[in-house]
Structure 1
Amino acid sequence: MKLEMTLPERPSFLHALPILDLLALVMLFPVLTAALAPQAGVEVELPETEFRLQRVANPIVLSVSGGSEPEYWVGKQRVEREALMSVVAERAGDWNEGGRPAVLLKVDKSAQSLGMELSFELLREGYRCLWGAKLAQ
């Protein structure tokens, strides 16, 4: 008795499965790297805290880097100190989340005094100030 193979000579759909797996991985990597990318334009070393930040949908992210010449960033846009409040006001014009516009301050450890000045200035202008910090472990 001779055994016969029931599959065709070249089953093309079986050879295509590894390619489909590879394509799924290639499509998955950009999605994951976008979620892990920094949210603002500059990386800052945040102070530690034991408190959790309240959740606010789409806050205006204002980052201040440390060093002798601090850099100011609104989102991913670098801004000079003199134009900072006008850029924040421009972004607040697009605010549609309800209530006062929220500004998330991400201030480097070495520039805490600048962050305090900025928060007082933002509070005087009528914004809600949220300080970004990393949780203490």
Structure 2
Amino acid sequence: MKLVSTLPERAGFLHAIPLFDLFALLLVFILLGPSFVTFSGVRVEMPMSRYQVERDPNAAVITITQGDPAVIWLERQRVTEADMIRQLAERREKSAAVPTVYIRSDSEIPASYERMVAEAALQQGFRVYLLGRPMKSEELK
């Protein structure tokens, strides 16, 4: 018995099936890819606050995270207290107006340490704001 193929010599749709698989795979990577990306930065659990400040685009952001001793971040760079004071002084010399510093600190950071960092910025001539997480409407009552 001789087997005879009923397909034409060039079955075009059979060659297109791997392309459909490729496009489906690319579509999955394009749509789901960003959800697997971790964003860099410093994670801080800030205390609640009922006040909000408008963001100054030229402000320096100091973040204080937990550690032993607490860790200071200036513009997402880990710095020591002396480096922070030096970098703030350099920044102050470059600016003609009164510059601003936002201090974000973890809720577990002692107020005395937060105050020490704020006083260091105040001594350099900065306007200092302590940032907190906004309160929900049910917490305001």
The TM-score normalised by the length of structure 1 is: 0.66
Letter aligned with residue 31 of structure 2: L
Quote the residue 2:8 is aligned against.
none
Shift of 1:133: 0.7
For the residues of structure 1 that align with 2:65 and 2:24, how far apart are their CA atoms? 46
Quote the residue 1:3 is aligned against.
none
The verdict on how the C-alpha distance between 1:45 and 1:15 changes in structure 2, with shifts beyond 3 A counting, is closer
Quote the residue 1:56 is aligned against.
56
For the residues of structure 2 that align with 1:59 and 1:65, how far apart are their CA atoms? 19
Q: Aligned runs of 1:1-137 on 2, under 5 Å?
A: 8-10=12-14, 11-12=16-17, 13-25=19-31, 27-29=33-35, 33-34=38-39, 37-38=40-41, 40=42, 43-57=43-57, 59-66=59-66, 69-91=69-91, 99-109=97-107, 110-137=109-136
For the residues of structure 2 that align with 1:93 and 1:16, how far apart are their CA atoms? 56
Letter aligned with residue 28 of structure 2: L
Kept in 2, the 8 Å contact 1:61–1:106? The answer is yes
The verdict on how the C-alpha distance between 1:94 and 1:47 changes in structure 2, with shifts beyond 3 A counting, is same
Letter aligned with residue 26 of structure 2: L
Percent identity for Structure 1 against Structure 2 = 20
Kept in 1, the 8 Å contact 2:64–2:106? The answer is yes
Letter aligned with residue 22 of structure 1: V
How many matched pairs?
Answer: 125
Give SS of 2:53's match: coil
Quote the residue 2:139 is aligned against.
none
Letter aligned with residue 123 of structure 2: R
Give SS of 2:110's match: helix
Q: Select the structure of larger CA radius of gyration.
A: 2
The verdict on how the C-alpha distance between 1:33 and 1:100 changes in structure 2, with shifts beyond 3 A counting, is farther
Give SS of 2:56's match: coil
The TM-score normalised by the length of structure 2 is: 0.64
* Structure 1 unmatched ranges of 5 or more: 1-6
Kept in 2, the 8 Å contact 1:64–1:111? The answer is no
* Structure 2 unmatched ranges of 5 or more: 1-10, 137-141
